[in-house]
Amino acid sequence: MRFTKPLLLFACVAAVLALTLAPTASASPGATTAVSGGWSWANTSWTEKALPGGSILATGDEIGTWTGGFSGCSYDDFAMQLMPPFTYDSKPPEYGPAWGTLKATFTGAVAGRSGTMTMFFTIYEPANDPVMVGTRVILRGTGELARAGGSGTWESSGVGNSATYSGMVRWK
C-alpha cells in the first residue's frame, strides 16, 4: 500500500490530537528521562545529484512515526553523500559508504508532555552494509516540550525504513 503525503499528515495530526488530550506528567528542571523505542518513515521525495569525484548527493524528505519514549509523528528532511562504487545490480550489490544529516520536526509526546521539538541527526552507513547508525540531539521544543533537551543514538534495521533509538531527555 502506497501512502500519500496528505494521508500520512492526517494520521500524524490525529495521533497528536489524541496525545494532547492525555494527562501530562511533570518533570522538574535538571531531571532526566530515559527514552527508547522505534522510528519508522515513509519517503515522500528523493533526489540524487552527481558530484565531482563520482559521489552522489541524495536529498529528500519523509514522514516519520515514533513509538516508545517519543510517541508521535515527524516531518524529516535529509541530505546524504553516497560514495562509489555503485554496482547495485551485481550479486551481492556493492556500494561505498554514505554519511549525512537529518532534521526531524517531531509533534507528539515525551514522558507524558506534548508539543513539538526539533532534532538533529547524524547518519553513517558503512560500505556494503544497509544498517545505518548515528546520533540525535534535541535542539529546541515548544509547548510542554519547550524545556526538553538531550541526546541519544539510533540504528536502522537494515531492512525497510525503520530504526530503534535510545538516549536521555534532560528537562531544562
* Interstrand relation of 162-171 and 94-95 (parallel, antiparallel or unpaired): unpaired
Q: By residue range, what is the domain housing residue 95?
A: 5-22+29-171
**pLDDT of 5:** 53
- Burial class of residue 17 (count of CB atoms within 10 Å of its CB; 0-12, 13-18, 19+): exposed
If you average pLDDT over every residue of the chain, what do you get?
A: 88
**pLDDT of 91:** 81
For residue 95, give the CATH number of its domain.
2.40.350.10
Instruction: Give the model's confidence band at 4: pLDDT under 50 very low, under 70 low, under 90 confident, else very high.
Output: low
**pLDDT of 24:** 40
CA geometry: angle 20, 156, 66, nearest 5 deg: 5
Domain count of the fold of the chain: 1
Q: Which residue has the cell 531544562?
A: 172
Distance CA 68, CA 29 (A): 22
122-168 tens-digit pLDDT: 999 999 999 999 999 999 999 999 999 999 999 998 888 999 999 99
